[in-house]
Copies of this chain bind each other. A is one copy, B any other.
Amino acid sequence: MFIKNTWYVACTPEELAGKPLGRTICNEKMVLFRDNDGKVSALEGFCPHRGAPLSLGFVRDGSLVCGYHGLAVSGNGKCASMAGQRVGGFPSIRSFPTVERHGFVWVWTGDAAAANPDTVPHLAWADSPDWAYGGGLYHIQCDYRLMIDNLMDLTHETYVHASSIGQSEIEDAAPATTVDGDEVITSRHMERIMPPPFWASALRGNGLADDVPCDRWQICRFEPPSHVMIEVGVAHAGKGGYHAEAQHKASSIVVDFITPETETSIWYFWGMARNFKPEDAQLTATIREGQGKIFGEDLEMLEAQQRNLLANPQRGLLKLNIDAGGVQARRVIDRLILQESSQQQVAEA
C-alpha cells in the first residue's frame, strides 16, 4: 500500500541534532544519524549483537555505536568495530539510501540499487534567497491517503478552519481537477470575495488594504508518492487574480510532505514558502505559528475519520466532484504500486 521506490521526507536536519533519531517509515523501523563529517545515514534500528535499538546509541567517528554493548555500525550497515572483538564475520544490517536536500532528509525504502538522488523533487523555493520557508511536523494516526484527500479537497476549510481560512464562498466555487501524467491538479478560484482572517492579515502584512473585495485562488498539486504543494493567495479584485502583479496580492505555497509511518499513521511535514519579505524571520515565525494552529485543527478530524473507517470496513464512500483530486491521486498511487509489484515479480521470475 506504499510506493517504495521513491523518496520520502524522513526528518528535518534539526531532528538529527545531537543524537540519533529512531523513526518508522513505510513500516521500516530505522535509525537516522549524522556522522562527524556531516553525512546523514539511515540504518535498520536493530543491533545485530543482541537486538538493542540503535536509536539509543551515539555517533563516534563515522559510525553509530550501540548504546548497550558498543558494537559500532557504519552508515553502509557493516559492523565497523567492537572492543575486544573481530567484527569481520558479523552480519550487516540494512542501510537505507538517504539524501539531504532542500532543507530535508530524504529516505528511500525500496530497492537500494534503484535509488537515484537526481529524482529527489526539485523545490525551487527551497534554495532561493527570494523565498522563506517555515514549517513543522505532526504525527497523526491516519492513513496517508486520508491526508491527501484532505489537502486535495479544500472544501473542508469552511468547516474545519472556519475561524481562519474558511469561508462559505469556497464551497460555492466548484473546483476543477486535471491529471497530467503522475501529477494531479485541483484548482479553485473565487472572485470578488472578502478575505477571511488569515488572508486579511497577510494583506495587511504586505501593506495592502484588507477591507476590499478580492479574488482568491487555491491550486493543489499532488505528486507521488504523497507530496501536495498548494499555491494559495488573494489579490485585490480586478487585478488579475492568480496572475496579478506582486504589489496587488498576497500569496504563498503551502508545502505538505506526507510520509507514511504505518498503514494508519503518518509523519506530516507541513509548512509555507513565501516570496515576500523573505528576510523577515519574525514573520516566518508568526506564519509558522498560525499555520501550525490551523493545521492542528485537522488532526482530530483525520484521526476520528480513520477510526470510523476501520470500524466500518464494509462501508463505501461517496466520490463527488470535490473529491476528484483525492480520487485521481489514489489512482496514480495504485498504478505506481501495481507497477512496482509487476517489476518485482519479473525480477523474481
Chain A residues within CB distance 8 Å of chain B: 29, 45-46, 48-53, 56, 65-70, 83-85, 90-91, 149, 153, 155-156, 158-160, 168, 171-172, 174, 300-301, 304-305, 307-309, 311-312, 315, 317-318, 320-323
Contact = CB atoms under 8 A, between A and B. Distances in A.
Nearest to A49: B318
A315 B45 CA distance: 12
Contacts of A53: 304-305, 307-308
19 contacts: A29-B311, A46-B308, A49-B320, A50-B317, A51-B305, A51-B317, A52-B301, A65-B159, A66-B159, A68-B305, A69-B153, A69-B155, A69-B159, A70-B158, A83-B158, A83-B171, A83-B172, A84-B172, A90-B318
Contacts of A317: 48-51
A70 to B, nearest CB: 5
Contacts of A149: 50
Contacts of A46: 308, 312, 315
Contact of A84 (B49, B50, B174): B174
Between A51, A307, A320, the greatest number of chain B beta carbons within 10 A of the residue's beta carbon is seen for A51
A74 B255 CA distance: 37
Nearest to A169: B83
A67 B68 CA distance: 46
Contacts of A66: 159
A54 to B, nearest CB: 9
Given A66-B159, A90-B318, 9 more contacts: A50-B149, A51-B309, A53-B307, A68-B159, A68-B160, A69-B153, A69-B156, A83-B171, A84-B322
B160 A67 contact: yes
B322 A69 contact: yes
B155 A318 contact: no
